[in-house]
Copies of this chain bind each other. A is one copy, B any other.
Amino acid sequence: MRQPRMDPEVRRQQILEAATRLIGLHGYNGLTIQDLAQRCGLTNGGLLYYFGSKEQLLVAILEERDRSEAAIIHADLEIERAASGKANYTRSTVLQTFRAIVTRSVTQPELLRFHSVLRSEALNREHPAYAFFLRREVMVLGEFTKVLAGHVDVPARAARQILALIGGLEQQWLRADMSFDLMVEFDEAITLILPWAKTVLQTDKAFVTN
């Protein structure tokens, strides 16, 4: 027993993080338990002790993501609207909803890589993450649509467009080795759909700065 026995919760997190990174590099199919275990400093069996199987490991990652993401975003929005008492969200909130997603991608490119790669791999109905990403896409589109209510002509369509823009720009950003400013490009792009975005952005920034 060479491995200096770690706090199990810490170890779990360590594994999840390493797995997320590796899937971001090679996809789920390209991930090998052996490689992952080695990078975590344990044996094959030692790793599977935590998650039982490769697929369950994936599920664990996705669940973790779900917890830390969708829930939070949704909750934030609800609170804001409840507080305001109005039917629709403010322009600032709408913009922040979308920008928050991109901000996260910029600050955590490994997570972005993970999503970008796995999401495409999971286009196949038999992929273990297929259902997850299908469900999630429906949910995100729904959420976007709600958020956009009152701000565009056809909210569902705009939701599609924004989601497409985010995903598409992110992928270009990764392929270009993050050599352009994703945030700037997104801000420009969102202006196509929400023409008032630029003004709001400047106002918000001014507000923050002062």
Q: Within the complex, which residue of B26, B30, B123, B167 is in contact with A164, where a contact is CB–CB below 8 Å?
A: B167
Return A5 CB to nearest CB of chain B, in Å.
15
Interface residues of A in 116-175 (CB under 8 A from B): 116-117, 119-121, 123-124, 126, 133-134, 137, 157, 160-161, 163-169, 171-172, 174-175
Contact (Cβ within 8 A) A160 B185: yes
- Annotate A1-45 by CB proximity to B: 1 below 8 A, 0 otherwise: 000000000000000000000000111011000000000000000
**Complex CA distance for A175 and B160, rounded to whole angstroms:** 13
Whether A189 is near chain B, meaning CB under 8 Å from some CB there, is yes
How many residues belonging to A are interface residues under a CB distance threshold of 8 Å?
A: 37
Pairs across A and B, CB under 8 Å, 20 listed: A26-B29, A27-B29, A116-B123, A117-B120, A117-B123, A119-B120, A121-B121, A123-B174, A137-B172, A137-B175, A137-B176, A157-B188, A160-B189, A161-B165, A161-B169, A161-B192, A163-B172, A164-B167, A165-B168, A192-B192
A-side residues, CB < 8 A to B, are 25-27, 29-30, 113, 116-117, 119-121, 123-124, 126, 133-134, 137, 157, 160-161, 163-169, 171-172, 174-176, 185, 188-189, 192-193
